[in-house]
Structure 1
Amino acid sequence: PMDTLRKLLQQGNEMGGTEMKPDQPEPDEDLEAEPNSDITALVVQQPQHRRKTVIYLFLCSLLIFTTAFLLGYVAFRGSCHYCGEVGEMVPVEDKPGIDHYPTAGMYPGELRDMLKKYLQDEKIEATIRRVSRTTHPSGSSEGTALAAEILEMFKDLHMDHTWTDSHYATLQFPSRTQRNSLWIVDAEGEEMLEEIPLEDPDSYCAYSAIGTATGGLVYVNYGRQEDFDWLRSAGVSVIGCVVMMRVGGGVSYAEKVLFAQKAGAGGALIYPDPADIPQDPRRLGLNSYTAISEHVHLGSGDPFTPGFPSFNHTQFPPTQSSGLPVIPVQPISANVASKLLSQLSGLACPRGWQGRLPYVRCVLGPGFSSGDGRKVRMGVYNIMKPTLLNNIFSSLEGRIEPDQYIIMGAQRDAWGPGAVKSGVGTAVLLELARTFSHMVKNGFFPRRSLLFVSWDAGDFGNVGATEWLEVGCLLNSFLQ
């Protein structure tokens, strides 16, 4: 039929250009039955065939992608060569002559189950009791003995590396020859009218300024900036006075002293109020005759080598931190605070300043109810002492990124038994070290290095930890 059509068209052209058109099919004619008999049918069929091809290609691509994803997931899920059932360790078989380390990590759930399996609560409790059996401040014989004990415990775990990092830092301690004191004196400050015994004479504020302060006594609530601002607005001046502050209020001892200095105070007394810290004699905990020691350096590390590591004070020019206070500071017990505050006169305390000291009507001072102009005199005679600090380190080397560290540390020293602070931290640290060491012996390999550290001089403002970090910063500056 196509040849016949071409001949007819050629004849039409020869006869004068008469245009010949093929007959249009009837509407009810089946185009699919005889496609070669109609040019229009051929033109219409071609795009329909292309659409079907595109759909087939899309479905095939989707099927291939889904299959590849599932195969990849199954392959990755089974690549943990040292993980068996949940919570079970499967040792890795080392091939002779080849450094064979697993390259895949563990899922968080698997690691959590392993930690639950190997951590032992009874060991934590036993360590707390052993560490907290006596006071062990930095530089003391008890502190040195505890450091040696922890070093031996790390060595017994047979980790990859165990060592000691030592520093000489300047710490402050109470004087054994001249005790800190508190007196009520006459208006001229010359005659001692009454000595107020410090029921807890070993308590002190490390890095307090040394000397005496004499003046009226002003109650300043928590010693926050807003407390001093309120006193100023009420017309109560603290310039030259000894201020008495409660523990707490969201500010540290160092911040309280800083705000007192800025307000012009000459000295500071800090006590624990029963409203903030329960003092039930029938229970374990703080008693009404106990003061709370704390450092008052607004910063961390050795305040006499700020920004530099403390070795023996010969490598760097002598200097001191700007965060050291310039007024004397002494912690006192709730009983001593009650005795002093019960004698004050002056404006009534604003709402919210009332504590729970017994037999105390909350007034601000600075005068005494006796009306004879008596004042308070406090004396602080702490001494500075270069002290050898020992940070104890033990590490498990990472198998993939050994130069990256996860550091787990805890303060070791304590002015008292330190069960809540250093005792709990040290116990958890040692148990984590024992647990991870046991896991490594059973086939677990950490991706990054694990570093377990027992820090010294934490009660003095994280001195041990800060000095170690400053060594790293100094070395880094030399290498750059």
Structure 2
Amino acid sequence: MAGLPEDLESAEVVAERWKNDGLLVIKPKYNVLLSYPDDNNPNRITLTSGDGLVIIQTNGTEKVYDSTQPKTVNPFLAYTPNGTVNSTKLFYGNYGTLEDLQTLASVVGNASLQGSIIIMRYGSIFRGDKIMHAQYFGAIGAILYNDPANYAPFGTTANQVYDQKWYMPPSGAQRGSVLILDGDPLTPIYPSTDYMYRLKEENVKYLPKIPAQPIGYAEAQVILQYLEGNEVPVEWRGALPNVTYRYGGELHNGSDAWSLGSIDPTSGTATMLEITRVLGEMYKNGFRPRRSLMFCSWGAEEYGLIGSMEYVQEYVKVLGARIVSYLNVDSAVQGNHTILVKTAPMLFDIIVEASKMVPSAYDAPGQTVYDKWMRVNRNNVTNEPKLTYGLGSGSDFFSFDQLVGSSNMDARYTYDSAEQRNIASHPLYHTSYEVFSMMKNFVDPDFTAHRTMGQFIGVLVLLLSEAPVLQFNVTRYTTALMQTMNNLKPNDPTVL
């Protein structure tokens, strides 16, 4: 976790590896606002009966399956305030989207939501937006959980979830930041250097004002069983057994008072270290790239892309003038099926070229990444591989995309969504079960996908650095803009 001694130790290991590989290592320093839970006093949620008897008190921890694994931080949501809230009103808000809570308010009444606690399931939107939406509608607290419909689609018995499969077990709880701003919240727009003016915490509108806590779905099941009110529509229903999903209301008989990361980001770090090792050997043997290569290991990504954002904010003018491309390998491997690429349109052709040079993971000899890509994810109109234009805001590419304006890419090896029943993400995301053994047992047993991703990114790096003339196809950018414009028009003709 960012800011802790273990995180510094990991950074020092990466720095030492890079020095040994012949890289010049620099360590920019920023002073940023982070939040941590109390390891000795886990956050808990208590449901009590009218006479004060405890129906359930959440554990605040996750079940330990392997006592040899290093201890991880207890489940919490970074940047939510400390505090204890009590309410006799509990509501279920589905995914917590603005539309979901508008529907909830229309059913139970806006006044009923004032002073309530809202329980919502993960998925559909960023967790921070769920909390801010609940706050906007008058809630004084929020609860998040991973519904089996999205994270354990084949069932929740012991042989269907971790540690027998890679699906979320009953006690699993997803940690994460709820900050809706990227970078240090006290110095928006500006780098968090020692001399920078800082806002007061109470004046930062991007920080939530209500307590919130993630829990396991076994605990959510008990809480949801006590909800009253009308049943929710089919699309709001999850897959918890023995639960009738209801909107909720007054609790007439009671009141309701991050991790090791074998996928995110360790798979990306391991892949990048292998790339720098190979390039370091080439450098020692006389190789000199035509264009400079910079490898970055960012801190505090999970809190809100803080390390990368602060760096870009400090050097945005220089970066904007010089950067050709930023290649993101945060979660390099989250499955062993095929490659998944999000990119700027102008990189399309060079990405396809690189994919034709690299063997496909877990396929017959002679099969390339491109061959598998075309077989399982072909654009039948253009007869090209499908990829996504535009990267969004989910990882460290964001500041390069939105502030620097370079042509960037995020790539990973991923799972077969149809085979996995369209799960919301890799199921153990941000839990204490995202460990090395999980990766080896359920995701990439031979680490072939890691090798493939390392080769793919490595080839792409060389193509971008060595080509006398960059292979940027501006026509694709024009086409992408036209497609985006056409997609907007049917939804809202007044936009363009």
Q: Once superposed, what is the RMSD of the aligned Cα atoms?
A: 2.4
1:460 aligns with one of 303, 311, 326: 303
User: Which sits farther off after the overlay, 316-325 or 222-231?
Assistant: 316-325
Aligned to 1:213: 85
CA contact (8 A) 1:223 1:245 kept: yes
Aligned to 1:133: none
Deviation, 1:166, is 1.9
Q: Report the CA distance shift for 1:317/1:475 in structure 2 as closer, same or farther (over 3 A).
A: farther
1:234 aligns with one of 100, 107, 110: 107
1:440 equivalent in alignment to 2:280: no
5 Å-filtered alignment, 1:269-348, equals 269-278=143-152, 280-281=161-162, 282-312=164-194, 315-320=196-201, 321-348=204-231
Deviation, 1:303, is 1.3
- Aligned-pair identity in percent equals 30
Deviation, 1:177, is 5.2
- Which amino acid letter does the alignment assign opposite residue 431 of structure 1? E
CA contact (8 A) 2:44 2:60 kept: no
1:387-436 Cα deviation digits (max 9, x unpaired): xxxxxxxxxxxxxxxxxxxxxxxxxxxx3120111111101211222222
CA contact (8 A) 1:207 1:325 kept: yes
Aligned to 2:38: 175
Higher relative contact order (CA 8 A, sep 6+): 1
1:261 aligns with one of 120, 126, 135: 135
Partner SS for 1:287: coil
Partner SS for 2:3: coil
Aligned to 2:126: 252
Aligned to 2:9: 145
Q: Which runs of 5+ in 1 are unaligned?
A: 1-136, 378-414
Q: Structure 2 CA distance, aligned partners of 1:470 and 1:205?
A: 26
CA contact (8 A) 2:22 2:284 kept: no
Deviation, 1:239, is 2.0
- Which amino acid letter does the alignment assign opposite residue 220 of structure 1? G
Q: Which runs of 5+ in 2 are unaligned?
A: 63-73, 321-496
Deviation, 1:302, is 1.5
Aligned to 2:59: 198
Q: Structure 2 CA distance, aligned partners of 1:228 and 1:155?
A: 52
- Which amino acid letter does the alignment assign opposite residue 59 of structure 2? L
Deviation, 1:143, is 1.6
CA contact (8 A) 1:199 1:290 kept: no
Larger radius of gyration: 1
1:80-116 Cα deviation digits (max 9, x unpaired): xxxxxxxxxxxxxxxxxxxxxxxxxxxxxxxxxxxxx
Deviation, 1:344, is 1.2
- Which amino acid letter does the alignment assign opposite residue 319 of structure 1? K
- Which amino acid letter does the alignment assign opposite residue 147 of structure 2? D
CA contact (8 A) 1:200 1:333 kept: no
CA contact (8 A) 1:184 1:375 kept: yes
Q: Structure 1 CA distance, aligned partners of 2:54 and 2:25?
A: 58
Q: Structure 2 CA distance, aligned partners of 1:140 and 1:241?
A: 35
1:425 equivalent in alignment to 2:268: yes
Deviation, 1:184, is 2.2
Q: Structure 2 CA distance, aligned partners of 1:229 and 1:472?
A: 42
Deviation, 1:285, is 4.6
Using the size of structure 1 for normalisation, the TM-score is 0.58
Q: Structure 2 CA distance, aligned partners of 1:269 and 1:295?
A: 14
Q: Report the CA distance shift for 1:294/1:317 in structure 2 as closer, same or farther (over 3 A).
A: closer
1:155 equivalent in alignment to 2:19: yes
The structure where strand makes up a greater share of residues is 1
CA contact (8 A) 2:184 2:192 kept: yes
Using the size of structure 2 for normalisation, the TM-score is 0.56
CA contact (8 A) 1:222 1:248 kept: yes
CA contact (8 A) 2:108 2:249 kept: no
Q: Structure 2 CA distance, aligned partners of 1:148 and 1:317?
A: 28
Partner SS for 1:433: helix
